[in-house]
A and B are shown apart, each in its own frame.
Chain A
Amino acid sequence: MRDITLGQYINGDSPIHRLDPRVRLILTLVYIIILFSFKSILQMILALVFILIAYAIVKIPLKMLLKSLKPIIPIVLFTSILNMFFISGDVVFSFWKISVTKQGLYYAALMSLRVICLLAGSSLLTYTSTPIELTGALESLFKPLTKLGFPVNDLAMMMTIALRFIPTLLEETDKIMAAQKSRGANLDTGKLFERIKALTPILIPLFVSAFRRADELALAMECRCYNGGEGRTRLNELRLKRSDLKATLVFCLFCVLLVLAGKI
């Protein structure tokens, strides 16, 4: 059987893994906001150091981080170069009609650092949280909206079911593909249009089966006393622990440090 992992979750038992997923989510969001509201290189370097320390705690090899940074390198380079050339100020050197300014270089470095931190920060969240943890965190955080008639519970249930059935449906797709191939279907070669056409005999059984599953699942849920999310309690209720408070405190210290760094 194919082992499907959703997202990039890395199984582990680091202090960051053990944090309440809500804390992880909120701290990541605040971190991203900070990245965009501070404007000095020193602050960005501090932010980078901070996130690297976090990676060290989770024991994620730096190689992995670099690998996930790879796809954005062209974007970073492109925006840096644009910034370098088009910001006016004290000219450092110039050739032909283009001049590179001190301000331009500074801004380019700032932007690159910012994007790298942004990616490293959000990856850390997905490395340490399963999709289901994130669903639970969102459900809990948005709970107050239930009072305004926003169907938070239903949406969370939909997310959970989607996550539950993705592996099942992928497995089924494999089976149907194998079945059609064994009947002589050619799925791997041919022109684009032919290949799309060849997908029809896979998609149709897949859809039929998905609808039947949905029907049976709804029935089974009804039999297990499900009638909308109202009045539902949870087995594992999210509860803040002492370690969550400690982590938040450390994060606050980091914020203070950043503000101080901006004053230098």
Chain B
Amino acid sequence: MREYIDFYEEGIVSSLIKFDNVSFSYGKNSVLQDIDLSVEKGEFLAVLGYNGSGKSTMAKLINGILVPSSGKVYVDGMDTSDEKNLSEIRKKAGMVFQNPDNQIVATIVEEDVAFAPENLGLDPKEIRTRVDDAIKAVGLEKHIKDAPHKLSGGQKQRVAIAGVLAMRPMCIILDEPTAMLDPKGRSLVMNVINRLNRENGITVVLITHFMEEAVLADRIIVLANGKIAMEGTPRTIFSEKDKVTSLGLEVPPVTELAIKLSENGIKVSKDIIRPEELIEAITALKEDIH
């Protein structure tokens, strides 16, 4: 993964996902205007924005479910508006949706995970390896023969992720994957996503409205009024609390707390974005007092 990025800097490998001056409208309703965006191999990108800002539309543009009204989207150099590229693109960029119930096809976990490789016409032996690998990657080995409707929401969503992993994609796009989950299911799913990115080098595009999830990303973009309104690392984005709030979002709860603390004269930095950082800062203060 590191190597890819070095190559990129030398201009040898192009971006995995590239939006080139993309606009999109549903009939007369213009949703995205002149979007330029590159996502590099191995990157973890979070996409934020208020409801209806066009996040899902953007996700669907990536794997050719929608094609731009103008401009081009490329995945690994392939144009999504070219029908011939579609199956290759969908194999490279897997998509996970919000409602796990509506993306599970089969009545047994392993058969659902096998759905995509079956569609690709792979050999049963190869399918078996991929299914076992994918199920292991999401930690559901114990449930391989279970019926999906008997699993919890978080487990179902991990089945959905495994179903995408079985395509051996370079990139996974997740559209609010944790929106319907309880806190425990949410954190398990986020662990899986994070691990896939850090350990397996899979590029992740995560659409979310949980700021504490966005903090895990390498880079955040914020959509508003059809444009990319903000772009940067989680720290730079959330250090601009006023701007973030004006775009209909919030800063992560820890950042909120850090700001309140510093306003009340406790000397912690205002650009804290992770709980661990705040703990560290407070512990440091305590040691100062002693």
Contacts and interface: CB of A to CB of B under 8 A. Distances in A.
A binds B: yes
- Provide the main secondary structure of the chain A interface: helix
A226 B87 CA distance: 9
A223 B107 CA distance: 19
Nearest to A220: B103
A163 B90 contact: no
A151 B101 CA distance: 26
B167 interface: yes
Nearest to A231: B121
A224 B164 contact: yes
B104 interface: yes
Nearest to A172: B101
A260 B149 CA distance: 51
A102 B290 CA distance: 110
B53 interface: no
A196 interface: no
Interface in A200-236: 212-213, 216-217, 219-227, 231-236
Interface stretch (B14-22, B74-82, B112-120, B274-282): B112-120
A160 B106 CA distance: 6
B246 interface: no
B114 A235 contact: yes
B111 A235 contact: yes
Nearest to B147: A167
Interface residues of A, number: 29
A144 to B, nearest CB: 19
Contacts of A212: 102
Contacts of A222: 65, 90
Contact of B167 (A167, A221, A225, A232): A225
B164 A219 contact: no
Which of A161, A163, A226, A227 has most B Cβ within 10 Å?
A226
Contact of A233 (B91, B104, B124): B124
Contacts of A237: 124
A164 interface: yes
Which of A213, A219, A225 has most B Cβ within 10 Å?
A225
Nearest to A214: B102
Nearest to B88: A225
A223 B94 contact: yes
B284 interface: no
Contact of B102 (A213, A224, A225): A213
A105 interface: no
B122 interface: yes
A220 B111 contact: no
A227 B88 CA distance: 13
Contacts of B115: 221, 224, 226
A139 B65 CA distance: 30
B156 to A, nearest CB: 11
A164 B148 CA distance: 8
Given A216-B97, A223-B90, A160 B105 contact: yes
A233 B120 CA distance: 8
Interface string B83-102: 00001001100110101011
A219 B97 contact: yes
B103 A216 contact: yes
A216 B106 contact: no
B204 interface: no
Given A132-B108, A235-B118, A225 B91 contact: yes
A24 B72 CA distance: 54
B103 A132 contact: no
A149 to B, nearest CB: 20
B105 A161 contact: yes
B163 interface: yes
B106 A164 contact: yes
Given A167-B149, A224-B164, A234 B103 contact: no
A167 B150 CA distance: 9
Contact of B107 (A160, A226, A236): A160
A233 B106 contact: no
Contact of B111 (A167, A217, A227, A236): A236
A186 interface: no
Contact of B90 (A132, A160, A225): A225
Nearest to B103: A220
A224 B99 CA distance: 16
Nearest to A218: B102
Nearest to B128: A235
Nearest to B131: A235
Interface string A154-178: 0000001101100110010000000
B165 to A, nearest CB: 11
A213 B131 CA distance: 25
A234 B163 CA distance: 15
Interface in B113-166: 114-124, 127-128, 131, 147-150, 160, 163-164
* Shortest 3 CB-CB contacts between residues of A and residues of B: A220-B103, A235-B114, A216-B102
